[in-house]
Amino acid sequence: MKLKLRNLMVLLGVVSLSQSLVYGSSLSLKYDGSTHVYDKTPITLYVNNMEVISEVMPPVQIEGYVLVPIREVFQALGATVQWKSSERKVCIEKDNSLIVLELNNKDAWVNGEIKEMEIAPKEINEKVMVPIRFISEALGYKVAWLNNERSVHINEQTSIIQSNSNINQDFSNNQIISDEISQNNNMSYMNEINSIFPFLNYDSIAQKMTISDGGAGISVSDITVNDNYTKRKMTFTINNSALEDVKPGSWKGKIGYLKAVNVTKTNSGAQITVETSSVCAVDLSKGQDGIVINFMKPNQKYNKIIVVDPGHGGADDGTRCNGVKEKDITLRCGKALFNLLEADNNIKVYMTRPEDWYATAGDGIVGKQYPTLDMRVALSNEISPDMYISVHVNYVENAPSASGIETYYYTSSDKRGQTFASRVQKALVEEFGLRDRKTKHGDFYVIRETNDPAILIETGFISNSNDFNTITAPNYTERFANVVYNCILEYYNEGLN
């Protein structure tokens, strides 16, 4: 690691002198719109066993967390630190890690994923100050706090530095307050995509892709978006002759949400297929240079989100009786519920299994597939819905008298799953008059492993003749979907999301 000493002062032996200069008796800190008197004992900071003293701001402890001036400290660690003033965001890069922070926002972007910090970065006395433990650990450093000395020690665990070439930053056309400190940290980002597709630009900090139209005037209405979320793949079909001459091509890598971009030509324009690292939502708008596609997490775009999970599917029939398969009933019910929610402009709905089978590509599995329990849970956890609703059909061998509806929740501190399960159970029993087997705690994978409120409905026993007749009746699907849909509306009316 090569350090440029002009960016920091490494002082050995004159510590007491500089500290008294920096601290005096107390500090006046301006942040969060007011001035605070800070008179805590000074904190000493060591990076790789050398003391680091910031010329302008010492480390400070606020709400119990140590904040340090981002530029001085993390450049001393060999990271590249860049400040994008227009968006009040700062980008820290080291080896294969990219962290993006926004002032006064606890959400940090760590390699494309949002992680919550204990305290938001703050502008203190006009310096960007960040929680040192969070950032250090996200970059792979070891952090130690010695309480009696009030010192923080940061050390590199390993010094594997991977070399990358051909790299550029999109900060270049914005205000940059620092430069690269180590050539080894040169990482490739935004312009990689632009070098393959001259009409595309991706800003990995803002997570925005611009489709340049060269002034030809592509409008948002020229673009059709197809969100194949089970594949984390989004297709933008652009019907505008401005893109007639684009060159087809493909890019693979990891920039923010993006994993791959594929461009093909169509008769009336072009098609851009984007593979993302997790389920994304997009907003399209008209920008100065063309169309701007803003990528975000679903819950950043939608206020109300439901995930519908039709149980089983594909090679897994679930239970079966008299030639009727559980997977078909659950898919019919799931689709009917999906359609009602889809028609409701206030609610965004996703399905874990939109069809019986679905074809796969690009995820290492060739051919037809249905989602595993892991895939269902992963999908839901990326979406972070207000409720995950799994639909199933019951069966018991040699016990034709067993019958009725039951709804499961997984007991957790969040009681919304349990509350919603009771509501659905009551409404389904009222609607169909089947035996009330009540709501129960169930240790089922999909409701246990999903991070958000979840229920699992057992609609009835396919092995019981009365239940069988009810759930295979022609109008059952619509009735079921209506009941659950109304429960969802009540759930939202009560402000449970």
In the complex, which residues of this chain contact Zn ion (CB under 5 A)? 311, 318, 392
Min. distance of Cβ 327 from Zn ion in angstroms?
A: 8
How many other CB atoms are there within 10 angstroms of residue 389's CB atom? 28
Per the DSSP assignment, residues forming a β-bridge with 313 are: 316
**Minimum CB–partner distance for residue 391 and Zn ion (Å):** 9
We find the least distance from the C-beta atom of residue 393 to Zn ion, in angstroms, to be: 6
Q: How far is the CB of 399 from Zn ion (least distance, A)?
A: 17
Nearer to Zn ion, 311 or 404 (CB): 311
Q: Is the CB of residue 180 less than 8 Å from the CB of residue 168?
A: no
Residue 231 φ/ψ, nearest 5 degrees:
-100, 0
**DSSP run (H or E) holding 378:** helix 373-383
In angstroms, give the least distance from the CB of 312 to Zn ion: 6
348 vs 392 by CB, closer to Zn ion: 392
Which residue's CB atom is positioned nearest to Zn ion? 392
Residues recorded for the chain:
497
Least distance to Zn ion from the beta carbon of 210, Å?
46
- Interatomic CA distance for residues 412 and 448, integer angstroms: 9
Minimum separation from the CB atom of position 311 to Zn ion (A): 4
**Closer residue to Zn ion in complex, CB, 145/357:** 357
> Which own/partner contact pairs does 12-19 have at CB distance under 8 Å and 24+ positions apart?
12/50, 12/51, 15/44, 15/51, 15/53, 18/53, 19/44, 19/53, 19/58
CB nearer to Zn ion: give 63 or 443. Answer: 443
Q: String of b and e for 124-141 (b: at least 16 CB within 10 Å)? A: beebbbbbbbbbbebbeb
How far is the C-alpha of 413 from the C-alpha of 417, rounded, in Å? 10
Query: For tokens 């019986």, what's the residue?
Result: 356
Which positions ≥6 away from 468 have C-beta within 8 Å?
321, 322, 324, 460, 461, 462
In the complex with Zn ion, the residue whose CB is nearer, 209 or 379, is 379
In angstroms, what is the minimal distance from the CB of 395 to Zn ion?
8
User: Which CB, 282 or 456, lies closer to Zn ion?
Assistant: 456
Nearer to Zn ion, 78 or 311 (CB): 311
Pairing of strands 387-394, 305-310: parallel
CB 42 within 8 A of CB 114: no
From the CB of 225, what's the least distance to Zn ion, in Å?
A: 33
The distance of closest approach from Cβ of residue 326 to Zn ion in the complex, given in angstroms and rounded to an integer, is 5
Output 201 or 394, the one with its CB closest to Zn ion.
Answer: 394
CB of 392 or CB of 437, closer to Zn ion: 392
Q: In what order do the strands lie in the sheet with 290-296?
A: 200-203, 208-212, 290-296, 281-286
Specify the residue, 476 or 492, whose C-beta has the smaller distance to Zn ion. Answer: 476
CA-CA-CA-CA torsion for 207, 211, 215, 218, nearest 10 degrees?
-110
